[in-house]
């Protein structure tokens, strides 16, 4: 097997790519601007030029086993981006075919959270685990579910949208998906900021957060205030962790994972989040599952995680079309 994979993480602003070895070391990485080209072919051409430059500079020509790509709404089965909502090109985008034809290397694509799960399983906190759930706590809440060593894609390639489990059946917050009460509306960075606005309006105590214009409060502000002992800020983390822990207990009855692995800014809130999370998880857990699942933090360095996750998929990339006879 060739010794390297190319990992590509496509975001709305930047496309980051890197050469990764079997042990998960990022040999070299670079990036281009995703939105620079209105035409997908021009984008692919620049990506090819820059990635080839990186590959040649690192003497990796003909040593790339496969290319793994993480992108929003990327469908593992079809190799397409079906709803590239933050991307400048019309959907569906036949991404795997375009990249594979340009590079002459097998390509596999999936969404960011699935890529993160594969990254943890290949190089990170989930090494040796066959059943776990990756939860990414960013602007939204993403998830990658691994059962018996395999990512769950579902019948259509879109499984694993646990950020859109309903956690408040009545009077829930409006979610970006158009429904109400989704986990993501509470336990994302955005959700924490919304909680801050709600708590500050409903409650009357003083709070450090009141020094910030209410519509500008971020989850980082809430964290900073909580670290300084601010009661309302701490209660917001209590509220967030509790909802997340209750949701984990519900996920447990589905696939009984041995671990939940957290990634993203909010995951770095330490005990502020983890204590109420673990307490709620224990309290809400069905008896036969109590105490069985660990809550772990990602072991991938944040700067490398997206490329690493995407790259891990490159190890299982297969040619899209049969090799010519």
The residues of the shown chain that bind a second copy, judged by CB under 8 A, are 83, 129-131, 145, 147-148, 150, 152-162, 164-169, 177-179, 246, 249-251, 253-258, 284, 286-289, 292
Q: Using CA atoms, how far apart are residues 279 and 256, in angstroms rounded to an integer?
A: 18
Is the CB of 154 or the CB of 319 nearer to a second copy?
154
Cα dihedral 137/179/245/162 (nearest 10): -60
Closest to a second copy by CB, 24 vs 84, is 84
In the bound state with a second copy, the residue whose beta carbon lies nearer, of 157 and 264, is 157
Nearer to a second copy, 129 or 208 (CB): 129
> Shortest gap between Cβ of 259 and a second copy (angstroms)?
8
Nearer to a second copy, 170 or 321 (CB): 170
DSSP-derived 3-state class of residue 271: helix
Least distance between a second copy and beta carbon 136 (Å): 15
**Shortest distance, CB of residue 208 to a second copy, whole angstroms?**
30
Nearest approach, Cβ of residue 276 and a second copy (Å): 16
CB distance 12 to 112 below 8 Å: no
Q: How far apart are CA 134 and CA 21, in angstroms?
A: 22
Q: How many angstroms separate the CA atoms of 26 and 84, rounded? A: 27
Using left for φ > 0, alpha for ψ between -120 and 50, and beta otherwise, residue 28 falls in beta
Candidates 171, 277, 168, 265; CA nearest to 218 is 265
Between 154 and 206, CB nearer to a second copy: 154
Least separation in angstroms between residue 151's CB and a second copy is 10
Give dist(CA 130, CA 248) in Å, integer: 17
CA distances from 91 to 13, 67, 85, 157, 301 (A): 17, 21, 8, 16, 32
Is residue 110 within 8 A of residue 142, CB to CB? The reply is no
**Distance of alpha carbon 267 from alpha carbon 188, whole angstroms:** 10
Cβ of residue 229: shortest distance to a second copy, in angstroms?
Answer: 30
CA-based angle 161:80:93, to the nearest 5? Answer: 120
Q: Which is nearer to a second copy, 192 or 243 (CB)?
A: 243
Judged by beta carbon, residue 251 or residue 305, the one nearer a second copy is 251
In the complex, the smallest distance separating the C-beta of residue 262 from a second copy, rounded to whole angstroms, is: 18
Under 8 Å between Cβ of 99 and 47:
yes
Q: How far apart are CA 264 and CA 144, in angstroms?
A: 13
Q: What's the closest the beta carbon of residue 213 comes to a second copy, in angstroms?
A: 33
């Amino acid at each position: 097997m060739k010794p390297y994979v190319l990992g590509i993480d496509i975001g709305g602003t930047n496309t980051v790519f890197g050469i990764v070895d079997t042990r998960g070391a990022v040999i070299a990485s670079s990036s281009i601007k995703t939105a620079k080209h209105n035409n997908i072919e021009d984008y692919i051409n620049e990506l090819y030029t820059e990635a080839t430059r990186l590959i040649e500079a690192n003497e990796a020509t003909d040593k790339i086993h496969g290319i793994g790509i993480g992108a929003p709404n990327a469908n593992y089965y079809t190799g397409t981006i079906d709803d590239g909502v933050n991307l400048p090109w019309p959907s569906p985008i036949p991404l795997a075919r375009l990249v594979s034809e340009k590079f002459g290397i097998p390509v596999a694509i999936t969404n960011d959270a699935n890529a993160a799960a594969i990254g943890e399983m290949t190089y990170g906190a989930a090494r040796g685990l066959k059943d776990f759930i990756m939860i990414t706590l960013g602007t939204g809440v993403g998830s990658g579910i691994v059962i018996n060593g395999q990512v769950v894609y579902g019948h259509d390639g879109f499984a694993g949208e646990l950020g859109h489990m309903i956690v408040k059946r009545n009077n829930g917050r409006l979610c970006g998906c158009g429904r109400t009460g989704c986990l993501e509306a509470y336990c994302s960075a955005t959700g924490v900021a919304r909680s801050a606005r709600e708590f500050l309006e409903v409650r009357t105590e003083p709070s450090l957060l009141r020094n910030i214009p209410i519509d500008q409060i971020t989850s980082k502000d809430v964290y900073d205030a909580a670290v300084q002992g601010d009661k309302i800020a701490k209660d917001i983390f209590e509220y967030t962790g509790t909802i997340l822990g209750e949701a984990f207990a519900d996920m447990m009855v589905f696939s009984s994972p041995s671990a939940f692995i957290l990634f993203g800014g909010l995951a770095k809130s330490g005990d502020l989040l983890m204590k109420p999370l673990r307490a709620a998880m224990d309290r809400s857990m069905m008896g036969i599952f109590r105490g069985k699942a660990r809550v772990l933090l990602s072991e991938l360095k944040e700067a490398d995680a997206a490329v690493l996750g995407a790259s891990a998929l490159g190890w299982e990339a297969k040619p899209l079309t049969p090799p010519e006879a």
